[in-house]
Structure 1
């Protein structure tokens, strides 16, 4: 199984603008099997409480102390900061997740069946493992290593279909604004 490759198409301080770009991309995607994956670096007990209340199946491990984790039965509040993850969630959880963050660096990844054909760049239907959109909230990178006051939107494609990314950006009135990076998951 290979990772997808992501290219940034928007950097904005306006979360609503970022969500409009995501909605535009989702509007042209094959959303069969749509699910949402989340990652966050949580330092605040209040944020932790809100997120665990919203997504109780989430997992976590202590940043810098990977022996402390949900699997070990530890209390996450005693090990802040933690890296928190929730996988295969429903799209309806996105608004609550974004509201709960309160400045916390996080990613929201929409995972779906595929991208539409892009005949203008010589590409047919773009299937799974390269069909994602990621919104980086309060952070600039997919690894959550560059906290920021603004947000980024990335489109994911297969490496050999890199030409699809600029085409996708154009479909929502944007352009690629940075280099391609291998997605961490």
Structure 2
């Protein structure tokens, strides 16, 4: 499992705005190999049904100190609530459908692509695929979906040794970074 480093660039109550700004960041990137990962923290059978429809064959695992179950272990997701669901390698065209299905569930959309552009103003060449992500946390303020919120946070991911790329990327879309650069397990 690899890690990237992420920094927040936008917090909004409008999920459509978060997706629009994510799109503007992706317009800067080399997206010739673009895929999207979804994750959600599901608590009720209704949420599970709704999200299973847009996350077919999602991996699931329970969370909490007293819960130890997973789809890999053959456990039925409905019997393991609350659970995290994760689906890798989704088509970019499925993002809006996923966000619509999320409702109030803490969830995440992460775009994975080939690399960031050259950033000569901060002395950086083109970035490779390691550390090149954009994430929107829906109804959450953290990348682990542990801090539910009434708003949505957009993060840019970079390599730790290229930390100055995060504020440069934010500036390219008229924003500023806030918070600390934080390790983001993938």
Q: What TM-score, normalized by structure 1, do the two folds share?
A: 0.95
Matched, 1:69 2:70: yes
Q: Is the contact made by 2:122 and 2:165 (CA closer than 8 Å) also made in structure 1?
A: yes
Aligned residue in 2 for 1:44 = 44
Q: Distance in 2 between matches of 1:56 and 1:15?
A: 23
Structure 1 vs Structure 2 CA RMSD: 1.3
What is residue 166 of structure 1 aligned with on the other side?
167
Q: What TM-score do you get using the length of structure 2 for normalisation?
A: 0.95
Superposed, which structure 2 residues align to 1:64-103 within 5 Å?
64=64, 67-103=68-104
Provide the rounded CA distance (Å) in 1 between the counterparts of 2:54 and 2:146: 24
1:2–1:45 distance in 2 versus 1, CA, 3 Å? closer
Of 154-163 and 67-76, deviating more is: 67-76
Distance across 1 between alignment mates of 2:67 and 2:84: 10
Residue-pair matches, total:
185
* CA distances 1:64-102 after superposition (whole Å, capped 9, x unpaired): 355422122222112211011111111111111111111
Q: How far does residue 44 in structure 1 lie from its aligned partner after superposition?
A: 2.1
C-alpha distance in 1 between matches for 2:82 and 2:184: 23
**Residue 32 (structure 1) aligns with:** 32
Q: Distance in 2 between matches of 1:69 and 1:159?
A: 31
Q: Deviations over 1:141-160 (max 9, x none)?
A: 00111110001000000011
Shift of 1:108: 0.6
Give the Cα–Cα distance (whole angstroms) in 2 for the partners of residues 114 and 82 of structure 1.
32
Partner of 1:127: helix, strand, or coil?
A: coil
1:121-160 equivalence runs, <5 A: 121-160=122-161
The residue aligned with 1:117 is: 118
Structure 2 segments unaligned to the other structure (5+ residues): none
Which has the higher mean CA deviation after the structures are superposed, 75-84 or 5-14? 75-84
Query: Gaps spanning 5+ residues in structure 1: where?
Result: none
Q: Which residue of 2 aligns with 1:60?
A: 60
State the distance in 1 between where 2:161 and 2:73 align: 40
